[in-house]
Amino acid sequence: MTLRTAVTDGVALVTLDRPDRHNAIDLDTAAELAATWRAFRCDDAVRAAVITGAGGRAFCTGLDRSAHIPQPSSPFSLDDPLLHIGPKSNDLWKPVIAAVDGMACGGAFYLLGEAEFLIASENSTFFDPHTTYGMVSAYESIAMAQRMPYGEIARLALMGTAERLGAPRAYRIGLVSELTAPGAAAEVALRRAAVLAAQPTEAVQGTVRALWAAREAAAAPALAHAPQLIALGNLPPDRQAELFADRKRPGHQEGGPDGGPPVR
């Protein structure tokens, strides 16, 4: 299993448990996430949830690059294994808080985009590597555009690995609702989730659905274009792999003088 779940006093803690891979999501993890959210729909013992990552170095770094996803040749179709990893995609309207400790990048935004709010440790960073490796950031950017000012998500998505958004700035622009000490994001998120779980669950779920309805209205037209934009804008897989391999070459630096992108 690549996912751990524990339920205490109405709150489910869901932990991505692949710390050796920075909690990147492979196909098994994607299936486990979808199954977990759907199980919570019918579990009255769960009234709120927290999603986090194990190990302290990363919340999630998106789709595991070892996952093989054959694609249809049509630019109007796309098989994306991350489309159904979030709670809303699985018709779960119980509130979910994301607890971010460390890196959150790329496909992690599918999960962050479907959380009610984010709590992050002060040493956390957010970034989107897609453009650097010849890929269109479509679903990720659309999700985060609902949570961030346009200029901030545009900078994050377009500058690829050269841009890191630090948790303090993410808090100032409203992406993160609360900062914690390093390693404490999940603990604080569980306390906030306990408050949500103590409210009448019907009223809470109805409010979650109302809030999401407002976001759906804005996002639906953009999401309809995503498959074609990805099909037309992505480089061929072999060229993407070359760009990714170049990142690992000794002496190759991106961003700041220490070899890592500067953090805003």
Residue keyed to tokens 């072999």: 238
- Which of these, 98, 97, 99, lies nearest to 121 by C-alpha position? 99
- Which of these, 212, 33, 189, lies nearest to 124 by C-alpha position? 189
Question: What is the C-alpha separation between 153 and 150, in angstroms, rounded?
Answer: 5
> Was domain 1-63+82-182+204-249 assigned CATH 3.90.226.10?
yes
pLDDT in tens, the chain (264 residues): 799 999 999 999 999 999 999 999 999 999 999 999 999 999 999 999 999 999 999 999 999 877 777 766 776 767 788 999 999 999 999 999 999 999 999 999 999 999 999 999 999 999 999 999 999 999 999 999 999 999 999 999 999 999 999 999 999 999 999 999 999 999 999 999 999 999 999 999 999 999 999 888 778 888 888 888 888 888 888 888 888 888 765 333 333 333 456 678
Query: For the segment 18-48, what is each residue's pLDDT rounded down to a tens digit?
Result: 999 999 999 999 999 999 999 999 999 999 9
164 backbone φψ class: left, alpha, beta (φ>0; ψ -120 to 50): beta
pTM over 0.85: yes
